[in-house]
Amino acid sequence: MGAIEEANAKAVDILLAAKPVLRGIGVAGDEIPGMTKQKILHAGPPVTWDRMCGPMRGAVIGALIYEAMAGSREEAEELAASGQITYEPCHHSQAVGPMAGVVSASMPVWILENETYKNRAYCTLNEGLGKVLRYGALGDEVIDRLRWMERTLAPTLARALDAHGDVDLRSMIAQALEMGDEGHNRNRAGTSLLIRTLAPSIVSSAESRSAASEVLAFLTSNDHFFLNLSMPAAKCSLDPAADVPGSTLVSAMSRNGTDFGIRVSGLGSRWFTAPAPKVDGLYFPGFGGEDANPDIGDSVICETAGFGGFAMASAPAIVQFVGGTVDFALNSTREMYEITLAEHAFYRMPILDFRGTPTGIDLRRVVETQIPPVVNTGIAHREPGIGQVGAGLVKPPMKCFEDALRAFAEERSS
């Protein structure tokens, strides 16, 4: 076995040994290392205000209003561009965020731990569909919901988690993959399993019966609620494998709506970026390709960890949401074995005779085969303040992988 193969075996073993569990809920400003009131975390590789896409700007504006740092959209835009706000990728702070991925100091966050390696990951709570901050929507409806989440949803779930104890997310994701989810764009099973797991504790521990009832009604209304757990589960599973010298394992993929970026284990924290591609998808009534922002969000961490698009064979019903055919879903998963290092030990797909999902993208194989990772995703409107317009499939730009492989070769020859 060559040095790269050895390093990759080590890296993917670390990934496969991950055991993500849900430990609790805290406030971003308290829990996330280095988080301050003046800092805003966002999806994807680093990006400055002037290069930010519409939906991410919309989410930043919303976050500044939510934090009461600005009273209006105009004030918020001025502050956002003033240089007083620091923008950093979620990925630099052990966090991930769907779509715009904006995290500000007062937002509640899930606290996950990879029980095997004791590292943590954070993610905000999912707001539901429709007018929501992560798609860059604005308005009282969005801000009011965020406040309700801070005041009622998060404390109620925090008490329930204290009463219940840790939730084994590895087991929950494995079950959801046996129930038609792929864990990225279809989370109906994961959400249902989470609700039934926590419901008794929500009821017994809530401050009031009406809080319990409101929270259960909110969870029930949102089939994507589990996404904000599957993503940090993927993040804390990958992080311990993110710095193995000599490994070509892709340790992160992410997009900020302007750039698509990847990181490679043997190259540590460097990002390799290219313009974010358009999503090939199905649009909501009244919207079309001309409304779509380029690809955005940290949610592609799911595919990086071996589920999402890579497990589409387990979720054939998803083609009704993202487009394509059932054969395409099956073949997508099969093709991903060409560019991955292992089959997942816990995430198994009944329809493929319980084969483990293709896990651990090998940078070299992507470039050699020219097969891009298959990614399911949502589509945001390109203007700030509007929201989601569809969902679909996206091909990460090959340039990220080619540049990273070149850098990897240079590093080894130097």
Residue 285's contacts (CB-CB under 8 Å, 6 or more residues apart) are: none
Report, in Å, the least distance between residue 322 CB and its own copies: 13
Binding residue (CB under 8 A) for its own copies from 27, 143, 199, 407: 199
Sort strands 272-275 and 280-283 into parallel, antiparallel or unpaired. Answer: unpaired
User: For its own copies, which is the closer residue by CB, 45 or 392?
Assistant: 392
Residue 213 binds its own copies, judged by CB under 8 A: yes
Q: Which is nearer to its own copies, 220 or 369 (CB)?
A: 220
Minimum separation from the CB atom of position 199 to its own copies (A): 4
SS (H, E, C) 217-280: HHHHCCCCCCHHHHHHHHHHHHHHHCCCCCCCEEEEEEEECCEEEEEEHHHCCCCEEEECCCCE
What number of helices (H) and strands (E) belong to the chain? 15, 15
- What is the nearest approach in angstroms of its own copies to the Cβ of residue 201? 8
Strand partners, 52: none
35 sits near its own copies (criterion: CB under 8 A): no
Q: Minimum Å distance from CB 149 to its own copies?
A: 17
Number of residues in contact with its own copies, rule: CB under 8 A? 38
Candidates 82, 353, 410, 413; binder of its own copies (CB under 8 A) is 353
216 binds its own copies (CB under 8 A): yes
Asked if residue 4 binds its own copies (CB under 8 A), the reply is: no
Single-letter residue type at 166: D
In the complex, the smallest distance separating the C-beta of residue 332 from its own copies, rounded to whole angstroms, is 14
CB of 306 to its own copies, least distance (A): 18
Looking at 36, 72, 220, 269, which residue binds its own copies (CB under 8 A)?
220
Q: Choose one: 198-206, 244-252, 304-312, 390-398; the region binding its own copies (CB under 8 A).
A: 198-206
| Closest distance to its own copies from the beta carbon of 281 (Å) | 18
Binding to its own copies by residue 17, rule CB under 8 A?
no
| From 212, 250, 262, 305, residue interacting with its own copies (rule: CB under 8 A) | 212
Q: Is 357 helix (H, G, I), strand (E, B) or coil?
A: strand
Name every residue whose Cβ is closer than 8 Å to that of residue 252 and which is 6 or more positions away in sequence: 91, 238, 242, 261, 262, 263, 301, 304
Measuring CA to CA, how many Å separate 97 from each of 198, 235, 289, 336? Answer: 23, 10, 24, 24
Which C-beta is closer to its own copies: that of 349 or that of 379?
Answer: 349
Give CA–CA dist 81/409, Å, rounded.
39
Nearer to its own copies, 44 or 308 (CB): 308
Task: Determine the Cα–Cα distance for residues 387 and 26; give it in Å rounded to an integer.
Answer: 27
- Provide the H-helix boundaries in 307-397: 319-322, 326-336, 363-369
- CA dist 132 and 227 (Å) reads 15
What is the Cα–Cα distance from 172 to 178, expressed in whole angstroms?
Answer: 10
Interaction between residue 210 and its own copies (CB under 8 A): yes
Looking from the CA of 136 toward its CB, the CA atoms found within 13 Å total 29
The CA-based diameter of the chain, rounded to the nearest angstrom, is: 65
Q: 125-184: which residues touch its own copies (CB under 8 A)?
A: 175, 178-180
Segment 295 to 334, residues that bind its own copies, using CB under 8 A: 316-317, 319, 325-327
Partners of 361 in beta bridges: 340
Among 195, 282, 345, 398, which residue interacts with its own copies (rule: CB under 8 A)?
195
* Distance between CA atoms of residues 77 and 86, nearest Å: 14
Structural element, H or E, at residue 62: helix 54-66
350 interacts with its own copies by CB under 8 A: yes
> Which residue, 84 or 213, has its beta carbon nearer to its own copies?
213
Give the position of tokens 């340790």: 251
Asked whether position 217 contacts its own copies by CB under 8 A, the answer is: yes
Q: Please identify, using beta-carbon distances, which residue of 330 and 398 lies nearer to its own copies.
A: 330
Residues that bind its own copies (CB under 8 A): 175, 178-180, 188-189, 191-193, 195-197, 199-204, 209-210, 212-214, 216-217, 219-220, 316-317, 319, 325-327, 350-354
